[in-house]
């Protein structure tokens, strides 16, 4: 998405400095379309990271009982808040599972 934003800037800069040309206009339209799509995907990914959900869980949350409370309302038990979810998403901190702890304890 950021690369497409630079492309829009350079298309506009080229049209401003070298004059209007059809190829610059086509490049500007193409970069606007793909930049819009890129920013939509970027924002959706960040939103899912803030909520600690996958795309599948986001669309099918009604099918998964672990994403509902006793009254049937949406509740994500794995969400620790947007900030900690983003840290977990971008830093990729490993978590110790029960199997890893057992393997560590059993090793000589």
pTM: 0.67
The answer to whether 82 and 52 have CB atoms below 8 angstroms apart is no
C-alpha–C-alpha distance, residues 73 and 31, integer Å: 41
First to last CA, the chain: 50
Number of domains in the chain: 1
Domain span holding position 89: 2-106
C-alpha–C-alpha distance, residues 33 and 53, integer Å: 27
C-alpha–C-alpha distance, residues 2 and 64, integer Å: 35
> What is the pLDDT, as a whole number, of residue 50?
93
Q: Is 13 helix (H, G, I), strand (E, B) or coil?
A: helix
Please list the pLDDT of the chain residue by residue as tens digits (108 residues): 788 888 888 888 888 899 888 888 888 898 899 999 989 999 999 999 999 999 898 888 888 888 888 888 888 888 889 999 898 888 876 665 555 555 555 445
């Amino acid at each position: 998405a950021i690369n497409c934003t630079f492309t829009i800037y350079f298309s506009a800069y080229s049209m401003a400095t070298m004059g209007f040309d059809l190829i610059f206009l086509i490049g500007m339209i193409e970069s606007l379309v793909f930049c819009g799509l890129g920013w939509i995907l970027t924002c959706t990914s960040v939103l899912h990271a803030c909520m600690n959900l996958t795309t599948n869980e986001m669309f099918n949350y009604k099918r998964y009982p672990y994403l509902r409370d006793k009254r049937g309302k949406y509740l994500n038990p794995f969400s620790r808040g947007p900030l900690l979810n983003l840290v977990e998403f971008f830093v990729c901190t490993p978590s110790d599972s029960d199997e890893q702890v057992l393997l560590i304890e059993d090793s000589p």
